[in-house]
Chain A
């Protein structure tokens, strides 16, 4: 089915991304430099410039369900090279937030899960508890022995510790989480 373009909402997604990330996608001239330099582009369902095009034309689901936004490693090669100074990596970040907030099925569930467990760990401990992260991730993605052979060596060198590694007072970290959450919710409400 073709995408139907409508004057009522053609700019909606663009405006939303603008308020979430501060980036005006209407500036994008579709030169493709972001995609040309992207080191992960070969794995992506859609090229970064196509994701920006989806935003320009209010193709919300296309942008949010693409694996591109999850594969983006935020290396910021695109951001640095963009002739219109658009922070494309920042936009990918905003799209990931939106994807979670709207409970859209992520284009790459494993990466989405990893991010979720990673952030949960920080929220709980104030920093990453690595062993817990690895175990939770492996269980969640049904691959319990993934990278298990690397474990002993890392233990030996003190890279992994069994008890959770906590900061003294995780409350400021938790406060930042809440602040970010409040911001996203408020933007979405508007």
Chain B
């Protein structure tokens, strides 16, 4: 991130949201809302004086609410740019018009309470989507406590706790009483591979991060014991299988093949009820801490973004690639590319690889002055067009626009967007729209050809 923020050819717009996208490949018009940071980025030196003096403490989103942050804050230590932002929902200046300490202590005079959201218009040729994912809300699992037990956490919570600069300073503790956890149970596939309560797909990343976490837990607390309840260990990647074996052999992680049926409390412990299908025995673990590997799901606003960009998405809300094998990083809409887990759950190596591929595909768009497209696309005979624009409504790609020809509003197909699906041709009442190569005359000719009396000489 730091590298890209310093690159002359990269303009990084942080704390910004894409509001609207119009246009097509090579000619996208993007409206971006640069949200008011309340800190002047050109003046701020990142000294952190304001953060230290801020009196308001709020639960930290980045730390999964295990720790606190100030109302003026930098989300996490490595965040780029190293400039704080004021959380206007909690800052006393904005909620009660009091305080204002940050402005007083800032040596660079960078605090600006008056700052407004800014709308930026950009013309871009290609768009790469890397909007990431969310985690499944596991509280639907009543049998796992439905969120009632503080010591039932997710892998992301544990990740924050294992971070030495995290909310617990790298200590692995029970959120309920702050005691060190000694017996830790990991539950795989919480919301994944579960058609009843979750998602039918495999979230792909959990097996590996759980193995990593068990190794880290053993490193942090040598007399701890981790158990992993799993359905299958999916370690399909370079050196992945070896890594899981390392967790089992060197770190003594006990893998138990079977889904956990129930988690309940007994005293200050959590009883994890499961079974080991390999031995055919029911097992129980008295755990200090239970870590759930929750499913990877699309962002809540993924579909909204897809509709704004006119790109297809699947039944879950993951963006669909143009071809699962041959065009894995292209969306069906030309000029829009996909990478990372907004497309389907991906681990870091896969995300890095698809990002490189998407970037190169986007550059390929710019490598030529002209765009090469499939010839089988729709065209409008504007003399026949009555200007009803039914075609415009049925076009899934928003390829049809209206234009004035000889004082009459008629339809026109934007060739670089059209995919030749034929919806418009089928809808047109005046038969003004045809897909090249599939006009009515051509199709009739094909049907009639076998019934022709005279022999056609084939050259």
Residues of A participating in the B interface, judged by any CB pair closer than 8 Å: 2-7, 10-11, 24, 26-27, 29-30, 46, 49-50, 53-54, 56-57, 59, 62
CB of B249 within 8 Å of the partner chain: yes
- Whether A30 pairs with B254 at a CB distance below 8 angstroms is no
Residues of B within 8 Å of A7, CB to CB, are 182-183, 223-225
- Whether B284 pairs with A4 at a CB distance below 8 angstroms is yes
| A56–B276 CA distance with the chains assembled, in angstroms | 11
CB of B252 within 8 Å of the partner chain: yes
Out of A5, A56, A59, name the residue touching B285 (CB < 8 Å). A5
| A84–B286 CA distance with the chains assembled, in angstroms | 31
Nearest-CB distance from A29 to chain B (Å)?
Answer: 8
| A26–B182 CA distance with the chains assembled, in angstroms | 21
- Whether B254 pairs with A3 at a CB distance below 8 angstroms is no
CB of B282 within 8 Å of the partner chain: yes
CB of B234 within 8 Å of the partner chain: no
CB of B426 within 8 Å of the partner chain: no
Q: Counting chain A CB atoms within 10 Å of each CB, which of B224, B257, B279, B282 scores highest? A: B279
| A49–B280 CA distance with the chains assembled, in angstroms | 11
- Whether B278 pairs with A27 at a CB distance below 8 angstroms is no
Nearest-CB distance from B240 to chain A (Å)?
Answer: 14
Out of B249, B275, B286, name the residue touching A27 (CB < 8 Å). B249
Nearest-CB distance from B88 to chain A (Å)?
Answer: 47
Residues of A within 8 Å of B278, CB to CB, are 30, 49-50, 53
Residues of A within 8 Å of B245, CB to CB, are 29
CB of B7 within 8 Å of the partner chain: no
Residues of B participating in the A interface, judged by any CB pair closer than 8 Å: 182-183, 223-225, 227, 245, 248-249, 252, 254, 256-257, 273, 275-276, 278-286
- Whether A53 pairs with B227 at a CB distance below 8 angstroms is no
Residues of B within 8 Å of A10, CB to CB, are 225, 252, 254
- Whether A26 pairs with B225 at a CB distance below 8 angstroms is no
Residues of A within 8 Å of B281, CB to CB, are 2-3, 57, 59, 62
- Whether B249 pairs with A2 at a CB distance below 8 angstroms is no
| A29–B227 CA distance with the chains assembled, in angstroms | 16
Give the tally of cross-chain contacts (CB within 8 A).
62
- Whether A59 pairs with B227 at a CB distance below 8 angstroms is no
Residues of A within 8 Å of B257, CB to CB, are 30
Residues of B within 8 Å of A50, CB to CB, are 278-280
| A4–B283 CA distance with the chains assembled, in angstroms | 6
Q: What are 20 inter-chain pairs, A to B, with CB distance below 8 A?
A: A3-B281, A3-B284, A4-B283, A4-B284, A4-B286, A5-B254, A5-B283, A5-B284, A6-B286, A7-B183, A7-B223, A24-B249, A26-B252, A27-B249, A29-B245, A46-B279, A46-B280, A50-B279, A54-B279, A57-B256
| A162–B147 CA distance with the chains assembled, in angstroms | 78
| A53–B258 CA distance with the chains assembled, in angstroms | 13
| A62–B285 CA distance with the chains assembled, in angstroms | 18
| A62–B278 CA distance with the chains assembled, in angstroms | 13
| A11–B254 CA distance with the chains assembled, in angstroms | 9
Residues of B within 8 Å of A4, CB to CB, are 283-286
Query: Are A5 and B227 CB-contacts (below 8 A) given A10-B254, A57-B254?
Result: yes
Cβ-closest 6 pairs across A and B: A7-B225, A2-B282, A53-B279, A2-B284, A53-B278, A5-B285
| A150–B273 CA distance with the chains assembled, in angstroms | 56
| Nearest A residue to B253, CB-CB | A26
Query: Are A56 and B286 CB-contacts (below 8 A) given A7-B183, A7-B225, A10-B225?
Result: no
- Whether A26 pairs with B248 at a CB distance below 8 angstroms is yes
Apart from A5-B284, A57-B256, list 4 A-B contacts with CB within 8 A: A3-B276, A11-B252, A26-B248, A27-B249
| A53–B183 CA distance with the chains assembled, in angstroms | 20
Nearest-CB distance from A170 to chain B (Å)?
Answer: 43
Query: Are A57 and B276 CB-contacts (below 8 A) given A2-B283, A62-B281?
Result: yes
Nearest-CB distance from A83 to chain B (Å)?
Answer: 12
Nearest-CB distance from A10 to chain B (Å)?
Answer: 6
- Whether A3 pairs with B225 at a CB distance below 8 angstroms is no
